[in-house]
Structure 1
């Protein structure tokens, strides 16, 4: 799929389809391409928006969950969005949680998949090693149930990122921010209908994390996908889309 990246103001993003807005937020090592299967499935009935978050080039002092939330606030304001269905994977889920708590009037529905915010084992418990391709390949494969899902293109992309000292510094700052920012006491206040889609074999945010989110967020529903790790929308797009589509239909207002 050819992704058409648009630009408006300071923001770059995917904008496909028309209708209710589904806004996807990618993770720390994520990219717009992570959502290709979701875009293709939903763009005929929804407006699918995916902002490219400035993880690698935001000011180092702002590199963290709060800084990324401010970025999303600016994006929503720039595009004059409302009645959002926010869909966040990994770090994107963490940002979606903070944004939802700050702007419950703008978020109609919340979807979390492998979200940080309670516990995560980032990069398999270690920070990225520069210049070691095999290590990076192993760490990228660690995020998938089937290591073959980690294409050479994906591994090359992460390798390129980790070879840049400024990018690595930002990644480490954001990862530490996410680990510090435990949201257990806050998310009990989320009343927005929430869908949790978790890989049953998630090594980064294991299944117990999905159960904990389900227990703490009052109006939440949890689904597991078998033979699936940390990025269900990439590894099991058909199952992910089916669960999401059914739930969107149930929660339509």
Structure 2
């Protein structure tokens, strides 16, 4: 999967490092942090989110061919980077949304300081370790295998061909670089922070945890852990759905988001 290209792209420099920013919509600010595979077929800047919010969707530093900062080695580092970006952009009382590794970043940001975060949404987020199940191995398998793991039923995904097509040499190099950067950030401990669960009960922000029940990468048990530890969280599990509900079950995902955000 790749980063969706949008009509509203620019670059911003944060802490001396330039990143690509996708921006769209109007209304209060919403920051959307993508997973390791980018946005795929889901462009948050033209989704129903943009009907009610000004959506900011950055590309993580070190992903999609951008330079890798020498200091960036952990999700905690990346969380601090985005806290700096939020301050630089003047985002206040904003909605924070993250998918997969982006959800892990969002959870870490909220645990650091949730006071200017109006609401938190975690979508099949990494960051916590299941007690009974396992987080799937994604670094030692092929790109085709990772793609199959990402969806319960690809036939449900609009425009699936656009992400399953042969990316060509250039696209393959970009995806390989993404996985290298992801492994740098998430290898040890593997796709979780053992300390994060200690801090989630301090996040008083209203939270929605959205999860595909058949997620083959990060089991729904992790969503249950997030929903249990975040004091003001609601869990929305979506049946017949894998790791990407925003792509695989867009109507149910959008309805869950609208219901939650409409109550703020």
Q: 1:153 deviation in Å?
A: 4.1
TM-score by length of 2: 0.82
Alpha-carbon distance in 2 for matches of 1:91, 1:30:
10
Structure 1 residues 118-151: Cα deviation after superposition (integer angstroms, max 9, x where no partner): 12756x314245xxxxx31122121111135494
Pair 1:77 & 2:81 matched: no
Pair 1:244 & 2:257 matched: yes
Residue 17 (structure 1) aligns with: 25
Could you tell me which of 30, 33, 46 is aligned with 2:38? 30
Larger proportion of helix: 1
Whether the 8 Å contact between 1:128 and 1:136 is mirrored in structure 2 is: no
Q: 1:87 deviation in Å?
A: 0.6
Whether the 8 Å contact between 1:60 and 1:170 is mirrored in structure 2 is: no
Q: 1:81 to 1:93 in 2, by over 3 A?
A: same
* Greater displacement, 154-163 / 61-70: 154-163
Structure 1 residues 171-224: Cα deviation after superposition (integer angstroms, max 9, x where no partner): 211122563512111112111111011101111121211111111111110111
Residue 213 (structure 1) aligns with: 226
Extract unaligned runs of 5+ from structure 2.
Answer: none
Alpha-carbon distance in 2 for matches of 1:119, 1:98:
14
Whether the 8 Å contact between 1:53 and 1:71 is mirrored in structure 2 is: no
SS in 2 for 1:50: strand
TM-score by length of 1: 0.85
Whether the 8 Å contact between 1:37 and 1:234 is mirrored in structure 2 is: no
Query: How many residues end up aligned between the 2 structures?
Result: 242
SS in 2 for 1:43: helix
Alpha-carbon distance in 2 for matches of 1:3, 1:74:
24
Residue 197 (structure 1) aligns with: 210
SS in 1 for 2:42: helix
Alpha-carbon distance in 2 for matches of 1:225, 1:28:
21
Residue 154 (structure 1) aligns with: 163
Whether the 8 Å contact between 2:30 and 2:55 is mirrored in structure 1 is: yes
SS in 1 for 2:208: strand
Root-mean-square deviation over aligned CA pairs:
2.4
Q: 1:180 to 1:76 in 2, by over 3 A?
A: same
Q: 1:175 to 1:91 in 2, by over 3 A?
A: same
SS in 1 for 2:231: coil
Whether the 8 Å contact between 2:216 and 2:242 is mirrored in structure 1 is: yes
Q: 1:142 to 1:168 in 2, by over 3 A?
A: closer
Whether the 8 Å contact between 2:25 and 2:45 is mirrored in structure 1 is: no
Alpha-carbon distance in 2 for matches of 1:114, 1:39:
21
Extract unaligned runs of 5+ from structure 1.
Answer: 130-134
Residue 107 (structure 2) aligns with: 97
Pair 1:52 & 2:59 matched: yes
